Amino acid sequence: MAKLDGNNAVVTGGARGIGKAIALLFANEGANVAILDRDLQTAQEVAKGIRELGRNAIAVEVDVGDENGVAAGLQEVTRAFGDIDILVNNAGIDTTSHVVDMPTDMWDEMIRVHLRGTFLCTRAVLPGMLRRCRGRIINISSQLAHKGGAEMAHYSAAKAAIIGFTRSLAYEVAEYNVTVNAIAPGPIDTDLFRKLPEHWRKRKLAEIPMHRPGTVDEIAPTALLLATDAGGYYLGATLNPNGGDVMI
């Protein structure tokens, strides 16, 4: 029996990278998966691949920082699937700037997508999870939440805030059999990482004991663990597949 048979999952930012890998792994383990992403065409391609695996899948165009858009998107998911059992807050962006040069708009957008997006999507699915006393919420943070990084103060701050949100919410919902946990990957070989300035990528990889970026397939199994009964005793935790960049 597949580990996620009968579960309905939502993966934000699931059109590519870590989100796509998680969505496909969940589907391989029996889940129906909704892909929420601003890139609808690519999300539809992922959903098509999931349906070819014999699972239900839909793609919904959503900007996770838009309150009305999140509400409408998740309503579409519940109409298609029914109750949502698993939420993976993965949607994110990456930019670089020294703080002294950082435009306010760059700071605000980073917080809007990562932190506001995680809050809005979580708030939207919680009533159903609390009503049914069942749910898994998995937030994608970053090792930079622990370590920080030059030219990434906005990103590091947003990801650290996600860990604080994860721990606080975990206290609120544990009695309802809803778990909330985070994953803090190191640099992963995705489009986002490859688009960062070359000097930044070289510096970061030189810091890592393994001297290489991780792969999306090295991250997705951590999400699977947290989504299954085998991960049921993790609560408010942050798991750290980061190649040794932060050893905690």
Question: What's the rounded mean pLDDT across residues 228-234?
Answer: 97
**Residue range 149-175: average pLDDT?**
98
Per-residue confidence at 68, pLDDT binned at 50, 70, 90?
very high
Q: How confident is the model at residue 214 (pLDDT cuts 50, 70, 90)?
A: very high
Span 146-170, average pLDDT: 97
What does the pLDDT read at residue 248? Answer: 87
Per-residue pLDDT, 44: 98
Query: Which residue type sits at 81?
Result: F
Verify whether residue 155 is a known catalytic residue. yes
Write down the mean pLDDT value for the chain. 97
CATH of 8-239, one of 3.40.1280.10, 1.10.10.10, 3.40.50.300, 3.40.50.720: 3.40.50.720
Report field, pTM of the whole predicted structure over 0.85: yes
